[in-house]
Structure 1
Amino acid sequence: MPLCNGSSGYTTGMLSKVNGNSTEKCRRRRRRRIRMRRLQAKVAALCSERMHVLLQEELTRVGESTDMSGSSSSHGSGTQQQRTEEAWKRVLRSCFLRIDEIASTTCGECGSVGHQCDCARDTLGLTGSTAVVAVLTEETIIVANCGDSRAVLSRDGKPIPLSSDHKPDRRDELARIEASGGRVVFANGPRVQGILAMSRAIGDKYLSPYVISEPEITFTKREAEDECLILASDGLWDVISNDMACEVASECLREEDPAADHSFSPLVEGDSGGSVYSSRSASAAALLTRLAMGRNSCDNISVIVVDLKRSHTGG
Protein backbone atom coordinates (compact mmCIF):
# COMPACT_ATOMS: atom_id res chain seq x y z
CA MET A 1 0.00 0.00 0.00
CA PRO A 2 1.46 3.38 -0.97
CA LEU A 3 2.68 5.51 1.92
CA CYS A 4 1.92 8.81 0.21
CA ASN A 5 -1.35 10.16 -1.13
CA GLY A 6 -1.05 12.21 -4.29
CA SER A 7 -3.55 14.75 -2.97
CA SER A 8 -1.40 15.64 0.03
CA GLY A 9 0.27 19.04 -0.02
CA TYR A 10 2.83 20.91 1.99
CA THR A 11 1.74 20.85 5.61
CA THR A 12 2.82 22.66 8.71
CA GLY A 13 1.00 22.61 12.00
CA MET A 14 0.88 24.16 15.42
CA LEU A 15 -0.24 22.03 18.32
CA SER A 16 -0.86 22.89 21.94
CA LYS A 17 -2.50 21.19 24.88
CA VAL A 18 -5.21 23.23 26.59
CA ASN A 19 -6.57 22.38 30.03
CA GLY A 20 -10.35 21.97 29.99
CA ASN A 21 -10.81 23.31 33.55
CA SER A 22 -13.19 26.28 33.46
CA THR A 23 -11.91 28.18 36.50
CA GLU A 24 -10.88 31.80 35.96
CA LYS A 25 -7.27 30.98 36.78
CA CYS A 26 -7.17 28.29 34.10
CA ARG A 27 -8.89 30.57 31.60
CA ARG A 28 -6.24 33.24 32.18
CA ARG A 29 -3.52 30.65 31.81
CA ARG A 30 -5.06 29.34 28.59
CA ARG A 31 -5.35 32.87 27.11
CA ARG A 32 -1.71 33.54 27.92
CA ARG A 33 -0.64 30.23 26.35
CA ILE A 34 -2.60 30.96 23.18
CA ARG A 35 -1.16 34.48 23.01
CA MET A 36 2.39 33.17 23.41
CA ARG A 37 1.79 30.61 20.65
CA ARG A 38 0.59 33.40 18.34
CA LEU A 39 3.68 35.48 19.11
CA GLN A 40 5.91 32.49 18.36
CA ALA A 41 4.06 31.99 15.07
CA LYS A 42 4.72 35.64 14.16
CA VAL A 43 8.47 35.23 14.58
CA ALA A 44 8.42 31.96 12.63
CA ALA A 45 6.44 33.66 9.84
CA LEU A 46 8.89 36.56 9.88
CA CYS A 47 11.80 34.13 9.39
CA SER A 48 9.94 32.38 6.58
CA GLU A 49 9.13 35.65 4.80
CA ARG A 50 12.41 37.49 5.27
CA MET A 51 15.26 34.97 5.50
CA HIS A 52 15.53 34.27 1.76
CA VAL A 53 15.34 38.02 1.04
CA LEU A 54 18.16 38.74 3.48
CA LEU A 55 20.18 35.88 2.01
CA GLN A 56 19.85 37.36 -1.47
CA GLU A 57 20.89 40.79 -0.15
CA GLU A 58 23.95 39.36 1.57
CA LEU A 59 24.98 37.38 -1.51
CA THR A 60 24.61 40.52 -3.63
CA ARG A 61 26.76 42.40 -1.12
CA VAL A 62 29.49 39.77 -1.45
CA GLY A 63 29.29 40.28 -5.22
CA GLU A 64 31.48 38.60 -7.78
CA SER A 65 34.64 38.93 -5.69
CA THR A 66 34.04 35.53 -4.05
CA ASP A 67 33.14 32.21 -5.68
CA MET A 68 30.11 31.01 -3.67
CA SER A 69 29.37 27.99 -5.85
CA GLY A 70 31.28 25.54 -3.67
CA SER A 71 32.63 23.94 -6.83
CA SER A 72 35.73 21.79 -6.56
CA SER A 73 36.88 22.29 -10.14
CA SER A 74 40.49 21.79 -11.16
CA HIS A 75 41.47 25.26 -9.98
CA GLY A 76 39.58 24.88 -6.71
CA SER A 77 42.39 24.34 -4.21
CA GLY A 78 41.88 23.63 -0.53
CA THR A 79 42.58 27.30 0.18
CA GLN A 80 39.86 28.37 -2.26
CA GLN A 81 37.39 25.97 -0.67
CA GLN A 82 38.26 27.37 2.73
CA ARG A 83 37.65 30.91 1.48
CA THR A 84 34.29 29.89 0.02
CA GLU A 85 33.21 28.28 3.29
CA GLU A 86 34.28 31.33 5.30
CA ALA A 87 32.32 33.56 2.91
CA TRP A 88 29.20 31.42 3.35
CA LYS A 89 29.62 31.54 7.12
CA ARG A 90 29.76 35.35 7.05
CA VAL A 91 26.71 35.56 4.78
CA LEU A 92 24.56 33.17 6.82
CA ARG A 93 25.67 34.58 10.17
CA SER A 94 24.71 38.06 8.99
CA CYS A 95 21.29 36.79 7.84
CA PHE A 96 20.52 35.27 11.25
CA LEU A 97 21.71 38.32 13.20
CA ARG A 98 19.70 40.65 10.96
CA ILE A 99 16.50 38.61 11.26
CA ASP A 100 17.02 38.50 15.03
CA GLU A 101 17.28 42.29 15.12
CA ILE A 102 14.12 42.65 13.01
CA ALA A 103 12.22 40.22 15.25
CA SER A 104 13.40 42.06 18.36
CA THR A 105 12.02 45.38 17.10
CA THR A 106 8.72 44.04 15.73
CA CYS A 107 5.44 44.84 17.51
CA GLY A 108 3.87 41.70 18.94
CA GLU A 109 0.36 43.00 18.28
CA CYS A 110 0.31 44.41 14.74
CA GLY A 111 3.65 43.24 13.33
CA SER A 112 5.02 46.73 12.69
CA VAL A 113 8.83 46.75 12.44
CA GLY A 114 10.46 49.31 14.71
CA HIS A 115 7.26 49.70 16.80
CA GLN A 116 6.09 52.52 14.53
CA CYS A 117 2.54 52.07 15.80
CA ASP A 118 0.24 53.05 18.66
CA CYS A 119 0.17 49.60 20.26
CA ALA A 120 1.15 49.31 23.90
CA ARG A 121 4.72 48.10 24.35
CA ASP A 122 4.89 44.54 25.64
CA THR A 123 7.70 43.93 28.12
CA LEU A 124 8.46 40.59 26.48
CA GLY A 125 7.68 41.62 22.91
CA LEU A 126 7.68 38.66 20.55
CA THR A 127 8.73 35.29 21.84
CA GLY A 128 11.42 33.63 19.78
CA SER A 129 11.67 30.94 17.16
CA THR A 130 14.18 28.39 15.96
CA ALA A 131 15.49 28.41 12.38
CA VAL A 132 17.28 25.88 10.21
CA VAL A 133 18.34 26.91 6.70
CA ALA A 134 19.75 24.73 3.91
CA VAL A 135 21.51 25.97 0.78
CA LEU A 136 22.23 23.47 -2.00
CA THR A 137 25.04 24.08 -4.45
CA GLU A 138 26.02 21.66 -7.20
CA GLU A 139 28.40 19.82 -4.88
CA THR A 140 27.67 20.91 -1.31
CA ILE A 141 24.84 20.99 1.24
CA ILE A 142 25.24 24.00 3.53
CA VAL A 143 23.16 24.01 6.72
CA ALA A 144 22.82 26.84 9.23
CA ASN A 145 20.96 26.10 12.46
CA CYS A 146 19.86 28.14 15.47
CA GLY A 147 17.82 26.32 18.11
CA ASP A 148 16.52 22.77 18.28
CA SER A 149 15.15 22.39 14.77
CA ARG A 150 17.21 19.84 12.87
CA ALA A 151 18.49 18.93 9.41
CA VAL A 152 18.95 15.22 8.63
CA LEU A 153 20.32 13.79 5.40
CA SER A 154 19.21 10.37 4.14
CA ARG A 155 22.17 8.80 2.35
CA ASP A 156 21.92 5.25 1.03
CA GLY A 157 19.19 4.50 3.58
CA LYS A 158 21.17 5.83 6.54
CA PRO A 159 20.42 9.06 8.48
CA ILE A 160 23.19 11.64 8.79
CA PRO A 161 22.48 14.62 11.10
CA LEU A 162 23.75 17.84 9.51
CA SER A 163 23.02 20.00 12.56
CA SER A 164 23.30 19.74 16.34
CA ASP A 165 20.42 20.73 18.62
CA HIS A 166 21.14 23.75 20.79
CA LYS A 167 20.12 22.42 24.19
CA PRO A 168 21.17 24.23 27.40
CA ASP A 169 22.79 21.11 28.85
CA ARG A 170 25.00 20.51 25.80
CA ARG A 171 28.48 20.73 27.28
CA ASP A 172 29.81 23.56 25.11
CA GLU A 173 26.53 25.52 25.30
CA LEU A 174 26.38 25.15 29.08
CA ALA A 175 29.96 26.46 29.35
CA ARG A 176 29.11 29.45 27.10
CA ILE A 177 25.97 30.31 29.10
CA GLU A 178 27.80 30.15 32.43
CA ALA A 179 30.74 32.16 31.06
CA SER A 180 28.31 34.94 30.12
CA GLY A 181 26.87 35.04 33.64
CA GLY A 182 23.79 32.90 33.09
CA ARG A 183 22.77 29.56 34.50
CA VAL A 184 20.88 26.46 33.47
CA VAL A 185 18.09 25.42 35.81
CA PHE A 186 16.38 22.03 35.62
CA ALA A 187 12.66 22.84 35.56
CA ASN A 188 10.85 20.20 33.50
CA GLY A 189 14.16 19.72 31.70
CA PRO A 190 17.22 21.99 31.42
CA ARG A 191 16.28 25.64 30.79
CA VAL A 192 18.26 28.86 30.42
CA GLN A 193 17.54 30.90 33.56
CA GLY A 194 14.81 28.34 34.25
CA ILE A 195 12.81 29.68 31.27
CA LEU A 196 13.89 28.60 27.78
CA ALA A 197 14.55 24.97 26.81
CA MET A 198 17.06 25.90 24.08
CA SER A 199 20.33 27.82 24.20
CA ARG A 200 20.05 29.61 20.84
CA ALA A 201 17.01 31.21 19.23
CA ILE A 202 15.83 34.13 17.11
CA GLY A 203 13.93 36.93 18.85
CA ASP A 204 14.53 36.03 22.51
CA LYS A 205 16.44 39.22 23.35
CA TYR A 206 15.09 39.25 26.90
CA LEU A 207 17.45 36.33 27.63
CA SER A 208 20.50 37.96 26.03
CA PRO A 209 23.45 37.41 26.33
CA TYR A 210 22.77 33.85 27.50
CA VAL A 211 20.58 32.95 24.51
CA ILE A 212 22.17 33.98 21.21
CA SER A 213 21.03 34.00 17.58
CA GLU A 214 24.35 33.04 16.01
CA PRO A 215 23.93 29.89 13.88
CA GLU A 216 26.18 26.86 13.68
CA ILE A 217 27.05 26.11 10.05
CA THR A 218 28.06 22.81 8.45
CA PHE A 219 29.26 21.86 4.96
CA THR A 220 28.58 18.39 3.55
CA LYS A 221 29.82 17.15 0.18
CA ARG A 222 26.98 15.77 -1.94
CA GLU A 223 27.20 12.14 -3.07
CA ALA A 224 25.31 10.02 -5.58
CA GLU A 225 23.74 8.00 -2.73
CA ASP A 226 22.03 11.07 -1.24
CA GLU A 227 18.25 10.55 -1.27
CA CYS A 228 16.62 13.40 0.61
CA LEU A 229 17.13 16.14 3.16
CA ILE A 230 14.64 16.63 6.00
CA LEU A 231 14.36 19.99 7.78
CA ALA A 232 11.99 19.91 10.75
CA SER A 233 11.21 21.45 14.11
CA ASP A 234 11.41 19.53 17.38
CA GLY A 235 7.70 18.75 17.19
CA LEU A 236 8.75 16.02 14.74
CA TRP A 237 12.05 14.97 16.29
CA ASP A 238 10.59 14.64 19.81
CA VAL A 239 8.50 11.67 18.67
CA ILE A 240 10.10 10.43 15.41
CA SER A 241 13.68 9.13 15.24
CA ASN A 242 16.12 10.19 12.53
CA ASP A 243 16.05 6.63 11.17
CA MET A 244 12.28 6.47 10.91
CA ALA A 245 11.95 9.94 9.37
CA CYS A 246 14.49 9.09 6.66
CA GLU A 247 12.91 5.70 5.99
CA VAL A 248 9.43 7.19 5.59
CA ALA A 249 10.54 10.14 3.45
CA SER A 250 12.75 8.01 1.19
CA GLU A 251 9.96 5.48 0.65
CA CYS A 252 7.57 8.28 -0.33
CA LEU A 253 10.05 9.67 -2.84
CA ARG A 254 10.65 6.25 -4.38
CA GLU A 255 6.96 5.65 -5.11
CA GLU A 256 5.76 6.28 -8.64
CA ASP A 257 4.46 9.83 -9.01
CA PRO A 258 0.93 9.72 -10.54
CA ALA A 259 1.43 13.21 -11.98
CA ALA A 260 4.70 12.34 -13.73
CA ASP A 261 3.05 11.67 -17.12
CA HIS A 262 1.02 14.89 -17.13
CA SER A 263 2.07 18.19 -18.62
CA PHE A 264 1.44 19.89 -15.28
CA SER A 265 1.38 18.96 -11.62
CA PRO A 266 -1.91 19.25 -9.71
CA LEU A 267 -2.27 22.31 -7.52
CA VAL A 268 -3.15 21.91 -3.86
CA GLU A 269 -3.94 24.39 -1.12
CA GLY A 270 -0.88 25.65 0.76
CA ASP A 271 -0.73 26.33 4.50
CA SER A 272 -0.80 30.10 3.96
CA GLY A 273 -3.88 30.03 1.74
CA GLY A 274 -2.05 30.08 -1.59
CA SER A 275 -1.57 27.28 -4.09
CA VAL A 276 1.56 25.14 -4.23
CA TYR A 277 2.56 22.35 -6.59
CA SER A 278 1.86 18.88 -5.29
CA SER A 279 4.97 16.72 -5.20
CA ARG A 280 6.37 13.65 -3.57
CA SER A 281 8.46 15.89 -1.32
CA ALA A 282 5.32 17.68 -0.12
CA SER A 283 3.54 14.36 0.40
CA ALA A 284 6.47 13.05 2.43
CA ALA A 285 6.43 16.18 4.60
CA ALA A 286 2.68 15.83 5.10
CA LEU A 287 2.99 12.18 6.09
CA LEU A 288 5.76 12.91 8.62
CA THR A 289 3.58 15.66 10.10
CA ARG A 290 0.63 13.27 10.44
CA LEU A 291 2.85 10.63 12.03
CA ALA A 292 4.07 13.13 14.63
CA MET A 293 0.49 14.20 15.35
CA GLY A 294 -0.53 10.55 15.66
CA ARG A 295 2.20 10.10 18.26
CA ASN A 296 0.73 12.99 20.28
CA SER A 297 3.51 15.49 19.66
CA CYS A 298 2.86 18.45 21.94
CA ASP A 299 5.05 20.99 20.13
CA ASN A 300 4.92 22.96 16.88
CA ILE A 301 5.46 20.75 13.83
CA SER A 302 7.09 22.14 10.68
CA VAL A 303 8.54 19.78 8.07
CA ILE A 304 10.25 20.26 4.70
CA VAL A 305 11.53 17.35 2.60
CA VAL A 306 13.98 18.03 -0.25
CA ASP A 307 14.32 15.40 -2.97
CA LEU A 308 18.07 15.40 -3.58
CA LYS A 309 17.86 12.98 -6.51
CA ARG A 310 15.60 15.38 -8.38
CA SER A 311 17.45 18.55 -7.34
CA HIS A 312 20.77 17.05 -8.46
CA THR A 313 19.42 16.24 -11.91
CA GLY A 314 17.76 19.63 -12.24
CA GLY A 315 14.25 18.14 -12.13
Structure 2
Amino acid sequence: MIGSDFDEFWVDPQRSISKAYEKTDQAILSHSSDLGRGGSTAVTAILINGQRLWVANVGDSRAVLSTAGVAVQMTTDHEPNTERGSIEDKGGFVSNMPGDVPRVNGQLAVSRAFGDKSLKSHLRSDPDIQNTILDGRSDVLVLASDGLWKVMSNQEAVDIARKFKDPQKAAKQLTAEALKRDSKDDISCVVVRFRG
Protein backbone atom coordinates (compact mmCIF):
# COMPACT_ATOMS: atom_id res chain seq x y z
CA MET A 1 0.00 0.00 0.00
CA ILE A 2 1.25 3.46 -0.80
CA GLY A 3 -0.03 7.00 -0.37
CA SER A 4 -3.79 7.29 -0.17
CA ASP A 5 -4.23 3.49 0.02
CA PHE A 6 -2.16 3.50 3.20
CA ASP A 7 -4.12 6.42 4.67
CA GLU A 8 -7.43 4.77 3.75
CA PHE A 9 -6.41 1.61 5.59
CA TRP A 10 -6.40 3.45 8.93
CA VAL A 11 -9.81 4.99 8.23
CA ASP A 12 -11.57 1.91 6.82
CA PRO A 13 -9.50 -1.29 7.04
CA GLN A 14 -12.29 -3.48 5.66
CA ARG A 15 -12.71 -1.41 2.49
CA SER A 16 -8.95 -1.18 2.07
CA ILE A 17 -8.52 -4.96 2.33
CA SER A 18 -11.35 -5.51 -0.18
CA LYS A 19 -9.71 -3.11 -2.64
CA ALA A 20 -6.35 -4.86 -2.21
CA TYR A 21 -7.95 -8.21 -3.07
CA GLU A 22 -9.67 -6.65 -6.10
CA LYS A 23 -6.37 -5.16 -7.32
CA THR A 24 -4.64 -8.51 -6.82
CA ASP A 25 -7.26 -10.31 -8.90
CA GLN A 26 -7.00 -7.69 -11.65
CA ALA A 27 -3.19 -7.97 -11.68
CA ILE A 28 -3.33 -11.76 -11.97
CA LEU A 29 -5.93 -11.60 -14.74
CA SER A 30 -3.93 -8.98 -16.65
CA HIS A 31 -0.89 -11.29 -16.58
CA SER A 32 -2.76 -14.49 -17.42
CA SER A 33 -0.78 -14.88 -20.65
CA ASP A 34 2.40 -15.17 -18.52
CA LEU A 35 0.89 -16.95 -15.51
CA GLY A 36 -1.38 -19.42 -17.30
CA ARG A 37 -5.10 -20.07 -17.02
CA GLY A 38 -5.16 -21.20 -13.40
CA GLY A 39 -5.84 -19.24 -10.28
CA SER A 40 -5.22 -19.15 -6.59
CA THR A 41 -6.86 -18.94 -3.22
CA ALA A 42 -5.49 -16.65 -0.52
CA VAL A 43 -5.57 -15.89 3.18
CA THR A 44 -4.12 -12.79 4.79
CA ALA A 45 -3.72 -11.49 8.32
CA ILE A 46 -2.96 -7.99 9.57
CA LEU A 47 -2.25 -7.26 13.21
CA ILE A 48 -2.69 -3.66 14.34
CA ASN A 49 -0.97 -2.42 17.49
CA GLY A 50 -0.54 -6.00 18.66
CA GLN A 51 -4.25 -6.13 19.49
CA ARG A 52 -6.69 -6.02 16.57
CA LEU A 53 -6.38 -8.92 14.16
CA TRP A 54 -7.89 -8.62 10.68
CA VAL A 55 -8.12 -11.76 8.53
CA ALA A 56 -9.41 -12.13 4.99
CA ASN A 57 -9.65 -15.00 2.54
CA VAL A 58 -10.74 -16.05 -0.90
CA GLY A 59 -11.27 -19.76 -1.56
CA ASP A 60 -10.35 -22.51 0.84
CA SER A 61 -7.17 -21.16 2.37
CA ARG A 62 -7.88 -20.71 6.05
CA ALA A 63 -6.82 -18.82 9.18
CA VAL A 64 -7.22 -20.54 12.56
CA LEU A 65 -6.53 -18.74 15.85
CA SER A 66 -5.61 -20.51 19.07
CA THR A 67 -7.25 -18.91 22.09
CA ALA A 68 -6.24 -20.63 25.32
CA GLY A 69 -5.43 -23.69 23.19
CA VAL A 70 -8.87 -23.82 21.55
CA ALA A 71 -8.96 -23.55 17.76
CA VAL A 72 -11.20 -20.80 16.37
CA GLN A 73 -11.65 -20.69 12.58
CA MET A 74 -11.39 -17.06 11.52
CA THR A 75 -12.22 -17.51 7.83
CA THR A 76 -14.97 -18.99 5.64
CA ASP A 77 -14.21 -21.77 3.17
CA HIS A 78 -15.77 -20.76 -0.15
CA GLU A 79 -17.25 -23.97 -1.47
CA PRO A 80 -19.40 -24.24 -4.62
CA ASN A 81 -22.34 -25.85 -2.80
CA THR A 82 -22.61 -23.02 -0.25
CA GLU A 83 -22.46 -20.33 -2.97
CA ARG A 84 -24.42 -22.21 -5.63
CA GLY A 85 -26.98 -19.38 -5.98
CA SER A 86 -24.31 -16.80 -6.81
CA ILE A 87 -22.67 -19.14 -9.36
CA GLU A 88 -25.97 -19.99 -11.05
CA ASP A 89 -27.05 -16.32 -11.09
CA LYS A 90 -23.91 -15.67 -13.16
CA GLY A 91 -24.73 -18.43 -15.65
CA GLY A 92 -22.52 -21.16 -14.17
CA PHE A 93 -23.38 -24.49 -12.61
CA VAL A 94 -22.18 -26.72 -9.78
CA SER A 95 -21.55 -30.40 -10.52
CA ASN A 96 -20.04 -33.34 -8.65
CA MET A 97 -18.90 -34.81 -11.97
CA PRO A 98 -16.09 -35.69 -12.42
CA GLY A 99 -15.37 -37.10 -8.97
CA ASP A 100 -17.23 -36.62 -5.73
CA VAL A 101 -16.36 -32.98 -4.97
CA PRO A 102 -18.72 -30.13 -5.97
CA ARG A 103 -17.05 -28.02 -8.66
CA VAL A 104 -17.88 -24.82 -10.55
CA ASN A 105 -18.72 -25.90 -14.10
CA GLY A 106 -17.30 -29.32 -13.18
CA GLN A 107 -13.80 -27.82 -12.92
CA LEU A 108 -12.98 -25.76 -9.82
CA ALA A 109 -13.59 -26.89 -6.22
CA VAL A 110 -13.89 -23.35 -4.81
CA SER A 111 -16.43 -20.64 -5.52
CA ARG A 112 -14.06 -17.71 -5.00
CA ALA A 113 -10.54 -17.37 -6.37
CA PHE A 114 -8.01 -15.03 -7.92
CA GLY A 115 -7.43 -15.55 -11.63
CA ASP A 116 -9.06 -18.58 -13.26
CA LYS A 117 -9.83 -16.46 -16.31
CA SER A 118 -11.90 -19.12 -18.10
CA LEU A 119 -14.30 -19.31 -15.13
CA LYS A 120 -14.12 -15.69 -13.97
CA SER A 121 -17.63 -14.83 -15.13
CA HIS A 122 -18.97 -17.39 -12.61
CA LEU A 123 -16.53 -16.77 -9.73
CA ARG A 124 -16.17 -14.11 -7.11
CA SER A 125 -12.87 -12.77 -5.81
CA ASP A 126 -14.14 -10.56 -2.99
CA PRO A 127 -12.85 -11.72 0.39
CA ASP A 128 -14.66 -12.57 3.57
CA ILE A 129 -13.17 -10.31 6.24
CA GLN A 130 -13.23 -10.77 10.00
CA ASN A 131 -11.60 -8.94 12.85
CA THR A 132 -11.14 -9.60 16.52
CA ILE A 133 -9.38 -8.16 19.52
CA LEU A 134 -6.63 -10.44 20.81
CA ASP A 135 -6.34 -10.94 24.51
CA GLY A 136 -3.54 -12.50 26.51
CA ARG A 137 -4.98 -15.97 25.81
CA SER A 138 -4.38 -15.79 22.03
CA ASP A 139 -1.09 -17.55 21.35
CA VAL A 140 -0.90 -18.94 17.79
CA LEU A 141 -2.36 -18.17 14.36
CA VAL A 142 -2.12 -20.77 11.58
CA LEU A 143 -2.55 -19.59 7.98
CA ALA A 144 -2.58 -22.44 5.48
CA SER A 145 -3.82 -23.65 2.12
CA ASP A 146 -6.29 -26.49 1.68
CA GLY A 147 -3.57 -29.13 1.39
CA LEU A 148 -3.23 -28.88 5.16
CA TRP A 149 -6.92 -28.59 6.01
CA LYS A 150 -7.97 -31.57 3.89
CA VAL A 151 -6.02 -33.91 6.17
CA MET A 152 -6.06 -32.09 9.49
CA SER A 153 -8.70 -30.51 11.70
CA ASN A 154 -8.36 -26.96 12.99
CA GLN A 155 -7.74 -28.26 16.51
CA GLU A 156 -5.08 -30.73 15.37
CA ALA A 157 -3.20 -27.94 13.57
CA VAL A 158 -3.32 -25.69 16.63
CA ASP A 159 -2.21 -28.52 18.91
CA ILE A 160 0.83 -29.22 16.72
CA ALA A 161 1.73 -25.53 16.27
CA ARG A 162 1.55 -24.81 20.00
CA LYS A 163 4.27 -27.41 20.70
CA PHE A 164 6.91 -25.18 19.07
CA LYS A 165 8.20 -21.84 20.32
CA ASP A 166 9.71 -21.16 16.89
CA PRO A 167 6.83 -20.47 14.47
CA GLN A 168 8.92 -21.45 11.44
CA LYS A 169 9.57 -24.89 12.96
CA ALA A 170 5.85 -25.16 13.73
CA ALA A 171 4.97 -24.43 10.10
CA LYS A 172 7.51 -26.99 8.86
CA GLN A 173 6.10 -29.60 11.24
CA LEU A 174 2.53 -28.93 10.09
CA THR A 175 3.61 -29.27 6.45
CA ALA A 176 5.52 -32.48 7.21
CA GLU A 177 2.52 -33.91 9.04
CA ALA A 178 0.20 -33.10 6.12
CA LEU A 179 2.57 -34.89 3.75
CA LYS A 180 2.77 -37.85 6.13
CA ARG A 181 -1.04 -38.01 6.01
CA ASP A 182 -0.84 -38.24 2.19
CA SER A 183 -2.18 -34.79 1.35
CA LYS A 184 -2.48 -34.61 -2.43
CA ASP A 185 -3.07 -30.87 -2.63
CA ASP A 186 -0.80 -27.84 -2.37
CA ILE A 187 0.49 -27.22 1.15
CA SER A 188 1.47 -23.69 2.16
CA CYS A 189 1.66 -22.81 5.84
CA VAL A 190 2.63 -19.84 8.00
CA VAL A 191 2.47 -19.86 11.78
CA VAL A 192 2.40 -16.65 13.82
CA ARG A 193 3.15 -16.81 17.53
CA PHE A 194 1.87 -14.01 19.75
CA ARG A 195 3.54 -12.96 22.96
CA GLY A 196 1.45 -13.62 26.02
TM-score range, shorter chain: over 0.9
Secondary structure of 1:104 counterpart: helix
Partner of 2:42: 131
Within 5 Å, give how 1:26-45 maps onto structure 2.
Answer: none
Alignment correspondent of 1:103: 28
Distance 1:200 1:206 in 2: 13
- Given that residues 285 and 303 in structure 1 are in contact (C-alpha distance below 8 angstroms), is that contact kept between their aligned partners in structure 2? yes
CA drift at 1:67: 7.5
Across the aligned residues of Structure 1 and Structure 2, the Cα RMSD in angstroms comes to 1.6
| Identity rate, percent | 38
> TM-score normalised to the size of structure 2?
0.93
Counterpart AA for 2:94: V
* Among 166, 170, 177, the residue aligned to 2:87: 177
For structure 1, the residue ranges without an aligned partner over 5 or more in a row are 1-55, 69-83, 112-124, 254-279, 311-315
CA contact (8 A) 1:135 1:141 kept: yes
1:296 and 2:155 are equivalent in the alignment: no
Task: Say whether the 8 Å CA contact 1:228–1:309 is kept in structure 2.
Answer: no
Task: Report the more deviating stretch, 184-193 or 148-157.
Answer: 184-193
Which position in structure 2 is the counterpart of 1:213?
Answer: 125
Counterpart CA distance in 1 for 2:76 and 2:6 is 30
* Structure 1 residues 210 and 136, CA gap change in structure 2 (3 angstroms): same
**Which residue is equivalent to 1:232?**
144
Whether the 8 Å contact between 2:63 and 2:75 is mirrored in structure 1 is yes
Question: Equivalent residue of 1:214, what SS?
Answer: coil
Structure with bigger gyration radius: 1
Following TM superposition, the consecutive aligned residue runs of length 4 or more in structure 1 with deviations greater than 6 angstroms are none
* 1:63, distance to aligned residue in structure 2 (A): 5.3
Structure 1 pair 107–182 and aligned structure 2 pair: CA distance change class (3 A): closer
Counterpart CA distance in 2 for 1:63 and 1:249 is: 32
Q: 1:101 to 1:252 in 2, by over 3 A?
A: same
Question: Could you tell me whether the CA contact under 8 Å between 1:132 and 1:146 is conserved in 2?
Answer: yes
> Which residue is equivalent to 1:88?
13
Check the 8 A contact 1:150/1:163 in 2, yes or no.
Answer: yes
How many aligned residue pairs are there?
193
Amino acid paired to 2:28: A
- Partners of 2:9 and 2:16 within 8 A in 1: no
Residue 161 of structure 1: how far off its partner (Å):
0.3
Change (3 A) 1:154 1:219: same
Higher share in strand: 2
Higher relative contact order (CA 8 A, sep 6+): 1
2:161 aligns to what SS in structure 1? helix
Measured after TM superposition, the shift of residue 129 of structure 1 is: 0.5
Could you tell me how far 1:235 is from its partner in structure 2? 0.3
Counterpart of 1:33 in structure 2 is: none
Aligned-pair CA distance for 1:238:
0.4
Q: Distance in 2 between matches of 1:242 and 1:153?
A: 9
SS at match of 1:196: coil
TM-score (norm 1): 0.59
Structure 2: gaps spanning 5 or more residues: none
